[in-house]
Amino acid sequence: MRSKAQLLRRIVINRWFALADLLLVLASGATWILIPKFGIGFTLLALLPWVLRLLAGNPPFQRTPFDWLVAIFLVTAWVGYWAAYDKTTAWIKVWLIVTAVLLYYALSAQPKPNLNSLSLLSFCTGLGISFYFFLTHNFTGNLGSFALWWMNHRPQLGWHAIHHGYISGLLAITNLFALYWLWNTRDKLLSRFTIASKIFLFSGLGMSLWAFILTMSRGMWAATACGLGTWLLWIITTSNRFIAQPRMKSLFPFLVLVYLSVIIAFIYLGPARVGGDIGR
């Protein structure tokens, strides 16, 4: 019995187990978007690594500094479902949020040997999304002549165009994760990468950035401000340059709440009132 427990413990701390956990979560999210009727089954499957960790005597997930914020996020999701007029759509959105939380913990549990490969994969995924956007998006509302020329001369594949809001969100996520690989390979990038590799890399970054700018909405700008602001607050409160660093670190949750409150107030008192429609 003890040998089985030890074997299970070795399995759950293996780097491939963490990778399998991440792949299960990604499959769950894709299922909720593409085939919602199978979504709950895949979400339960994505919870299997949590169960195995518990059976091995380990915590089901790796603790992070943002656990309490994640808990509040989940509570507001269920409150939103309770208040929704369209229960079917709200049900799917709640489970997408649950899947997003599972993705957060699956990523936080990745061991360091997995990070470079996952970051490179994230870069390639973002580049693929950018290609798809430029091959399918309707640029008729764009006043640029180049955009209209591209629409008339690009390959007509007949693929379904993804909503620009989804594109911007996916590009924000994939490129943020790609920064890890780019930062760790910066020395090789300058010295060992071939000219062709550098052209591919910088053209890929440029295409992803261009697609992100074209699809970015006011909501995405606000979300970006929230994320970057929270990250900067964490950097400041954990900096060793401050004598009262432990005390400042304990104030981090309060500072985040104040910062997010300011962002929310700005949105509802400023951009949200443009056109007189605060609901949008």
Of 212, 211, 219, 216, which Cα lies nearest the Cα of 274?
219
Q: Is the pTM of this model over 0.85?
A: no
In a structure prediction context, what are the per-residue pLDDT tens digits for the chain, which is 280 residues long?
A: 566 667 777 777 777 888 888 888 888 888 877 777 788 888 888 888 888 888 877 788 888 888 888 899 889 988 888 888 888 888 888 888 888 899 889 888 888 888 888 888 888 888 888 888 887 777 766 555 666 667 666 777 777 777 777 778 788 888 888 877 777 776 666 666 677 777 777 788 888 887 887 777 666 677 778 888 888 888 877 776 665 556 667 778 888 888 888 877 877 776 555 544 444 4
Number of C-beta neighbours around residue 262 at 10 A: 12
Domain ranges of the chain: 1-110, 111-216, 217-280
Of 129, 152, 125, which Cα lies nearest the Cα of 215?
129
- Work out the angle at residue 83's Cα, subtended by the Cα atoms of residues 80 and 86, and round it to the nearest 5 degrees: 95
Please say whether the dihedral angle defined by the alpha carbons of residues 114, 119, 124 and 129, taken in this order, is positive or negative.
Answer: positive
User: Quick check: 76 and 98 in contact, CB under 8 A?
Assistant: no
Q: How far apart are CA 126 and CA 267, in angstroms?
A: 28
